[in-house]
A and B are shown apart, each in its own frame.
Chain A
Amino acid sequence: MSMANTTKLNVTYGDVTLGVSGDHFRYIFAYDRGGLESLVRYGKEWLYRTPMLAFWRATTDNDRGNGFSQQSAMWLGADCFTHCTQVTVAVDGQSIPLPIAPENNRYSDHETADTVAVTFTYTTPTVPATTVTVSYLVDVTGKLSVAVHYRGAAGLPELPALGLRFVLPTAASGFDYQGLSGETYPDRMAGGKSGTYHVTGLPVTPYLVPQECGMHMANDWVTVTRAHTLNNADPDHQPFGITLQKHDAPFAFSCLPYTPLELENATHQEELPAPRRTVLTIYGAVRGVGGIDSWGADVEPQYHIAGDQDHDFQFEIAGLA
Chain B
Amino acid sequence: MQADLTWLDDPQTFRINQLPAHSDHRGYATVAEAQAKQSSLVQSLDGNWDFQFAADPQHRPVGFYQPDYDRSNFDQLTVPGHIELAGYGQIQYINTAYPWEGKHYRRPAYSMGADQPARGMFSKGPENTVGAYVKRFTLQPALQNQRVSIEFDGVEQAMYLWLNGHFIGYAEDSFSRSEFDLTRYLQPGENLLAVEVFKHSTAAFLEDQDMFRFSGIFRSVRLVAKPALHLEDLTIRPTVDVGLTTGTLNLQLQLSAAQQLAGTAVITLQDAAGQPLWTTERAVADMLTATTTISHVHLWQHHDSYLYHLQICLHNAAGDLVEVIPYPVGFRRLEIKDKVIMLNGQRLILNGVNRHEWDAHRGRAVTMADMHHDLEIFADNHVNAVRTCHYPDQPVWYDLCDQHGIYMMAENNLETHGTWQKMGAVEPSYNVPGDLPQWQLAVLDRAKSNYEMFKNHPAILFWSLGNESYAGEDIVAMDAYYHHVDPTRLTHYEGVFQNRAYADRISDVESRMYNPPREIEKYLQDSPAKPFLDCEYMHDMGNSLGGMASYTDLIDRYPMYQGGFIWDFIDQALWVKDEVTGQPVLRYGGDFDDRHSDYEFSGDGLLFADRTPKPALQEVRYEYGQHD
Alpha-carbon separation in the docked complex, A167 to B601 (Å): 32
Is A135 interfacial (CB-CB < 8 Å)? Answer: no
Residues of A near B600 (CB, < 8 A) are 61, 208-209
Residues of A near B619 (CB, < 8 A) are 188-191
CB atoms of A297 and B516 under 8 A apart: yes
CB atoms of A295 and B543 under 8 A apart: no
CB atoms of B620 and A191 under 8 A apart: yes
B38-46, B167-175, B311-319, B585-593: which lies at the interface = B585-593
Residue of B nearest to A288 (CB): B546
CB atoms of A303 and B546 under 8 A apart: yes
CB atoms of A188 and B583 under 8 A apart: no
Closest CB of chain B to A188's CB: distance in Å? 5
CB atoms of A291 and B588 under 8 A apart: no
Q: Is the interface of B mostly helix, strand, loop or mixed?
A: loop
A15-23, A24-32, A178-186: which lies at the interface = A178-186
- The winner among B546, B548, B587, B603 for most chain A CB atoms within 10 A is B546
> A190 is contacted by which of B537, B544, B578, B623 (Cβ under 8 Å)?
B623
Considering only residues 555-591 of chain B, those with a C-beta below 8 Å from chain A are: 571, 573, 578, 580-581, 583, 585-588, 591
CB atoms of A297 and B514 under 8 A apart: yes
CB atoms of B538 and A291 under 8 A apart: yes
Residues of A near B537 (CB, < 8 A) are 292
Interface size class of chain B, counting residues whose CB lies under 8 Å from the partner chain: 35 or more
CB atoms of B545 and A188 under 8 A apart: yes
CB atoms of A208 and B424 under 8 A apart: no
Residues of A near B544 (CB, < 8 A) are 60-62, 289-291, 294
Is B615 interfacial (CB-CB < 8 Å)? Answer: yes
Alpha-carbon separation in the docked complex, A270 to B582 (Å): 11
Residue of B nearest to A207 (CB): B542
Is A211 interfacial (CB-CB < 8 Å)? Answer: yes
Closest CB of chain B to A139's CB: distance in Å? 37
CB atoms of A211 and B585 under 8 A apart: no
Residue of B nearest to A299 (CB): B546
> B616 is contacted by which of A65, A186, A188, A292 (Cβ under 8 Å)?
A188
Residues of B near A268 (CB, < 8 A) are 585-587, 591
CB atoms of A288 and B547 under 8 A apart: yes
Is B147 interfacial (CB-CB < 8 Å)? Answer: no
CB atoms of A291 and B542 under 8 A apart: no
Residue of A nearest to B608 (CB): A206
Is B541 interfacial (CB-CB < 8 Å)? Answer: yes
Is A293 interfacial (CB-CB < 8 Å)? Answer: yes
Residues of A near B616 (CB, < 8 A) are 183, 188, 291
Closest CB of chain A to B519's CB: distance in Å? 10
CB atoms of B542 and A182 under 8 A apart: no
Is A310 interfacial (CB-CB < 8 Å)? Answer: no
Is B622 interfacial (CB-CB < 8 Å)? Answer: yes
Take A190-B623, A208-B586 as given contacts and tell me if A182 and B540 are in contact as well, using a CB distance cutoff of 8 Å: no
Closest CB of chain A to B474's CB: distance in Å? 28
Is A212 interfacial (CB-CB < 8 Å)? Answer: yes
> B547 is contacted by which of A181, A193, A212, A299 (Cβ under 8 Å)?
A299
Take A206-B608, A209-B600 as given contacts and tell me if A291 and B585 are in contact as well, using a CB distance cutoff of 8 Å: no
Residue of A nearest to B544 (CB): A291
Is A243 interfacial (CB-CB < 8 Å)? Answer: no
Alpha-carbon separation in the docked complex, A297 to B545 (Å): 12
CB atoms of A289 and B585 under 8 A apart: no
Is B621 interfacial (CB-CB < 8 Å)? Answer: yes
Is B138 interfacial (CB-CB < 8 Å)? Answer: no
CB atoms of A209 and B620 under 8 A apart: no
Closest CB of chain A to B356's CB: distance in Å? 15
Closest CB of chain B to A269's CB: distance in Å? 7
Alpha-carbon separation in the docked complex, A208 to B517 (Å): 28
CB atoms of B543 and A300 under 8 A apart: no
CB atoms of B543 and A205 under 8 A apart: yes
Is B550 interfacial (CB-CB < 8 Å)? Answer: yes
- The winner among A184, A188, A290, A300 for most chain B CB atoms within 10 A is A188
Is B549 interfacial (CB-CB < 8 Å)? Answer: yes
Is B618 interfacial (CB-CB < 8 Å)? Answer: yes
Is B71 interfacial (CB-CB < 8 Å)? Answer: no
Closest CB of chain A to B594's CB: distance in Å? 15
CB atoms of B547 and A292 under 8 A apart: yes
CB atoms of A208 and B546 under 8 A apart: no
Is A192 interfacial (CB-CB < 8 Å)? Answer: yes
CB atoms of A270 and B543 under 8 A apart: no
Residues of A near B516 (CB, < 8 A) are 292, 297
Closest CB of chain B to A274's CB: distance in Å? 11
Is B323 interfacial (CB-CB < 8 Å)? Answer: no
A190-233: CB near B (< 8 Å → 1, else 0) gives 11110000000000011111011100000000000000000000
Alpha-carbon separation in the docked complex, A300 to B614 (Å): 21
Residue of B nearest to A268 (CB): B585
Alpha-carbon separation in the docked complex, A185 to B549 (Å): 13
Residue of A nearest to B605 (CB): A208
Closest CB of chain A to B495's CB: distance in Å? 17
CB atoms of B542 and A60 under 8 A apart: yes
Alpha-carbon separation in the docked complex, A60 to B545 (Å): 12
Alpha-carbon separation in the docked complex, A300 to B583 (Å): 40
CB atoms of B539 and A291 under 8 A apart: yes
Is A176 interfacial (CB-CB < 8 Å)? Answer: no
Is B508 interfacial (CB-CB < 8 Å)? Answer: no
> A207 is contacted by which of B424, B517, B538, B543 (Cβ under 8 Å)?
B543
Alpha-carbon separation in the docked complex, A192 to B609 (Å): 23
Closest CB of chain B to A66's CB: distance in Å? 11
Closest CB of chain A to B68's CB: distance in Å? 50
> A294 is contacted by which of B424, B549, B585, B604 (Cβ under 8 Å)?
B604
CB atoms of A300 and B618 under 8 A apart: no
Alpha-carbon separation in the docked complex, A297 to B520 (Å): 14
Take A61-B600, A291-B547 as given contacts and tell me if A208 and B623 are in contact as well, using a CB distance cutoff of 8 Å: no
CB atoms of B585 and A269 under 8 A apart: yes
Is A158 interfacial (CB-CB < 8 Å)? Answer: no
Is A114 interfacial (CB-CB < 8 Å)? Answer: no
Alpha-carbon separation in the docked complex, A181 to B617 (Å): 12
Considering only residues 127-141 of chain B, those with a C-beta below 8 Å from chain A are: none
CB atoms of A191 and B622 under 8 A apart: yes
Residues of A near B580 (CB, < 8 A) are 270
Closest CB of chain A to B539's CB: distance in Å? 5
Is A264 interfacial (CB-CB < 8 Å)? Answer: no
Take A181-B618, A188-B548, A269-B586 as given contacts and tell me if A292 and B514 are in contact as well, using a CB distance cutoff of 8 Å: yes
Is A187 interfacial (CB-CB < 8 Å)? Answer: yes
Shortest Cβ-Cβ A-B pairs, 9 listed: A191-B622, A187-B546, A183-B615, A61-B542, A208-B603, A191-B619, A191-B618, A289-B546, A294-B541
Taking A291-B539, A297-B514 as known contacts, 17 extra A-B pairs with beta carbons closer than 8 A to each other, sorted by chain A number, are A61-B541, A61-B603, A62-B543, A185-B546, A187-B549, A188-B546, A188-B548, A207-B542, A208-B571, A269-B585, A270-B580, A290-B546, A292-B538, A292-B539, A292-B547, A293-B514, A299-B546
Give me 6 A-to-B residue pairs in the complex whose CB atoms sit less than 8 angstroms apart, sorted by A's number. A181-B618, A182-B618, A187-B546, A205-B614, A208-B609, A292-B517
